[in-house]
Structure 1
């Protein structure tokens, strides 16, 4: 029989002090996304002002439709997360965790914030650490394959959507990329060759990931959730952009706008900025101009898209993140 822990008065005061010290840190971390957004807005104030003035006359019905499609994006993300795990996850908590992960994604670069939230959620559901990390890797791999596959398919279906000749890199740029890739591969190979323990860890991780991936693809419901959600998510995000473009009367076919989104998000994803702030905006504006959108309207469309997908859900997302931490779901 376990003996209940008894604390002296000094120990109780020390524990209460530690709790009070940790609380402000969490609150400060939750404010980081707002600071990042404010810094971007200040640095691009003239652009923001022009875009906001145009958004003031946008069609409200299409903007509301964009809000609905934005909500469906979290459903698609939840489907992908469920598709990476054999066990059935609690639906309500899964949706809440993905909504909170959207806010956490603006705390750390390269999507690490969302992965940290999901990892804590999976661990809270009793999924072992090795399988949880394998699920995160599978999610990233499938999401990238689906996004690039959609982009290639749509470019082949609509070859005039992007003026790819203007994006063709010079010989010097290609040589630079090849050299960087060769150096990275060489460094990774040397590290793996020299560190036996690291090789064992990576080997164990890969075996777990491959075993889980094979088991998941033998279950039709998980395969449909994994790949269906991975395809639906970028299409829904592109749908939000289409709704904003229609609200502003952008004179570009909707499928060209989806191609522009896929191209811009693929390029911006290579820049490890928290939430893509500072990288998605210019990439998306350039892509819209390339498919035939006027610069001013393209800028307003990008601002409206980012408002619906990032800034509008940011405050409730942070609140949900704090609530899930307090309820020990994360």
Structure 2
């Protein structure tokens, strides 16, 4: 120790540390608390009856408590909830931590003002009535308890939860205080939960807003730790942070050697957490890495990867020492190697011989099943002797699965191709790794498998991945070119789930407004039988449509079973997708070439679209000529045309959307016109295809019209046709299975505009959807199963 005190002072060249920091962990805790607050409110609104019963049970139970004991508990709860924060403040002041107490008082004041404003908002005439009744118990109580909100906000801001003893005392007195409020009927259960969460949110927001004292150990603390590890630093300077935001220092030692020191700060461990969580949820990769890692776990993981890489014979900076720096940071000391990054080399220096060395280093890693996971131009370095060094081992993983190893190959292929082109990259890689290894990485040459920096670089060379695939296939033609599905779900799937949940809510809310018993007893079921017959005829018409646009002969019975099967597929696919997919598959199984099958289905869809638009305009015009109708179709026609015009302008005006739509239409209708010409040359096929398309639309209109009349609705057939055609277009565009939710809302709204009473419109639409969407599901499932067993699908 005496020798350590005799060491000369070393000045660390680094920027001045800010006195206060906004910690990402506080922002994340604030967001998590807000999410919990929203979840509590939504659950409370859904389970109002259950909460009311629970409150009554609690209040009934408190009546059995002796009066003296109840009063004593009320007094102690109210006094203690003030005394504990005050005692903690005194304790902090004695420890010269008065600034923390001041932060807590700021949060308490904000919490009190916030609780008052929330109360004014929910109790105002324009406020949320259901939420107000939930929190105020029907208007007899305050929405939020101001005292409890302030106490919770104060306790959160002073970080009392980090002190186990104080934390236990605080939450005990808060529970006692809440019990006294319940026994006195001064608070509701939702109000209590919302008050606590609201106070916590205020506390975390205050902490993040004003910042927290900077507890990161400065450079001289890093040097002191190195001295305890028997190093003798004589100079130190801060260098560029690594890609994860960790501090790095270059430390000169007595004797002339140099250390590269990485410092892991505790408050930086959650930096980038949202992105890591999203990738972990989104990506189905073989990894055991946690999105949230403790300081100790991060230190051990990086050290283990560094030791494993060195043991595998890979040229990496040697890890010399590790240590914690107090409780808020840790360091890793590596030997310093004089290198240059691959990105900094001139093009002439990036020779094939150098690239071979790069791939040999990766081969050493893969032999020991080590995944680097960050093979980019800044982590691949070259020393003065021309030897390749792999840096940045902290992103790696030991005992990696096959998928991660293949991703490393795909990543390095892409990184080197960005420098030397696809052909050179593939040829050099194949000379070291072999064609079979490159073929294994072929399905992973997709943007989602690469790291963020590489994905950004590919924006300037969008064809590079395609070129890499082509070069690999040229070397190994039998290689599997289909991409591996890495996403657990696609964004489109997420949108479908959200839309389906909303649709289910809409449908259920409509059902609750209908007296089903009254509907069953008052409906005219002769009209219901007609609607059922029209629904069955729609499947016959759909069969004619497919038969009419396919040049080969199709058996009527089995083709009709395919149409029933498509009604089952609609449960899991949007309305416009399920029918196309299953009919195309059926035609392919019948021996129709894929191109012709797609062209035939595309032709049927195109003619269906033309008939749909033409009938909509025709029926809208006819309805508009009837001035006696309460339905205002001329205005409807204008609205429809305006909507179509706006959609066209949006599609044509937004380049990504325009490319998406034109690409889809091109792939769907590329061979449609020749197929239509073939149909026009056959009167029988033309009659079957065109007549089936017209019959299909008329059958659905008749079904909806019969459903309306079954419940006593009086509306013209042409008005029903306009309503159906408009709603069907909306349902086809909706991302929900079978247009669920969108079709119901559009049909009910259209019938209401046409003059149908609300109960009649809702009942008619529910019956219509029952006959055309839900009822065919069971025969559709049976048809789907039968056709699969017969290998017809």
> Structure 1 length normalisation: TM-score?
0.77
The higher radius of gyration belongs to 2
1:156-235 aligned at under 5 Å gives the runs 156-159=621-624, 160=626, 161-165=631-635, 177=647, 180-184=650-654, 188=658, 206=670, 208-235=671-698
Specify which of 739, 747, 761 is matched with residue 284 of structure 1.
747
Specify which of 504, 519, 527 is matched with residue 55 of structure 1.
519
Find the residue that maps to 1:122 and give its secondary structure.
helix
Structure 1 residues 37 and 303: alpha-carbon distance in aligned structure 2, compared to 1, 3 A threshold: farther
Task: Supply the distance in 2 between the matched residues of 1:47 and 1:187 (Cα, whole angstroms).
Answer: 34
Per mean C-alpha deviation after superposition, the further-off stretch among 90-99 and 48-57 is 48-57
Task: Supply the distance in 2 between the matched residues of 1:262 and 1:59 (Cα, whole angstroms).
Answer: 25
Find the residue that maps to 1:276 and give its secondary structure.
coil
Structure 2 residue 559 is matched with structure 1 residue 89: no
Q: Deviation at 1:127? A: 0.4
- 2:700 matched to which residue of 1? 237
- 2:738 matched to which residue of 1? 275
Task: Supply the distance in 2 between the matched residues of 1:124 and 1:248 (Cα, whole angstroms).
Answer: 44
Specify which of 146, 154, 170 is matched with residue 611 of structure 2.
146
- 1:305 matched to which residue of 2? 768
The Cα offsets for residues 205-247 of structure 1, whole Å up to 9 and x where unpaired, read as 72x3322211111100111111111111111101111111111
CA contact (8 A) 1:148 1:266 kept: no
The structure whose RCO (Cα within 8 Å, separation 6+) is larger is: 1
The Cα offsets for residues 34-74 of structure 1, whole Å up to 9 and x where unpaired, read as xx999855554342033334431211221122111100000
Q: Whose strand proportion is higher, 1 or 2?
A: 2
Q: Whose helix proportion is higher, 1 or 2?
A: 1
Task: Supply the distance in 2 between the matched residues of 1:117 and 1:178 (Cα, whole angstroms).
Answer: 29
Task: Supply the distance in 2 between the matched residues of 1:190 and 1:80 (Cα, whole angstroms).
Answer: 28
Instruction: Report the RMSD for the aligned CA atoms in angstroms.
Output: 3.1
Q: Deviation at 1:327? A: 1.6
- 2:569 matched to which residue of 1? 104
The Cα offsets for residues 118-154 of structure 1, whole Å up to 9 and x where unpaired, read as 1111011110000001111111111111111111111
Task: Supply the distance in 1 between the matched residues of 2:619 and 2:660 (Cα, whole angstroms).
Answer: 39
Structure 1 residues 181 and 204: alpha-carbon distance in aligned structure 2, compared to 1, 3 A threshold: closer
- 2:725 matched to which residue of 1? 262
CA contact (8 A) 2:603 2:672 kept: yes
Structure 1 residues 173 and 280: alpha-carbon distance in aligned structure 2, compared to 1, 3 A threshold: closer
- 2:537 matched to which residue of 1? 72
Note the residue ranges of structure 1 that are not aligned, 5 or more in a row: 1-35, 193-197
CA contact (8 A) 1:41 1:48 kept: no
Task: Supply the distance in 2 between the matched residues of 1:107 and 1:216 (Cα, whole angstroms).
Answer: 32
CA contact (8 A) 1:83 1:223 kept: yes
Q: Deviation at 1:165? A: 3.1
CA contact (8 A) 1:162 1:260 kept: no
Task: Supply the distance in 1 between the matched residues of 2:710 and 2:695 (Cα, whole angstroms).
Answer: 22
Task: Supply the distance in 2 between the matched residues of 1:191 and 1:143 (Cα, whole angstroms).
Answer: 18
Task: Supply the distance in 2 between the matched residues of 1:269 and 1:217 (Cα, whole angstroms).
Answer: 27
CA contact (8 A) 1:55 1:304 kept: no
Task: Supply the distance in 2 between the matched residues of 1:39 and 1:182 (Cα, whole angstroms).
Answer: 29
Task: Supply the distance in 1 between the matched residues of 2:718 and 2:655 (Cα, whole angstroms).
Answer: 37
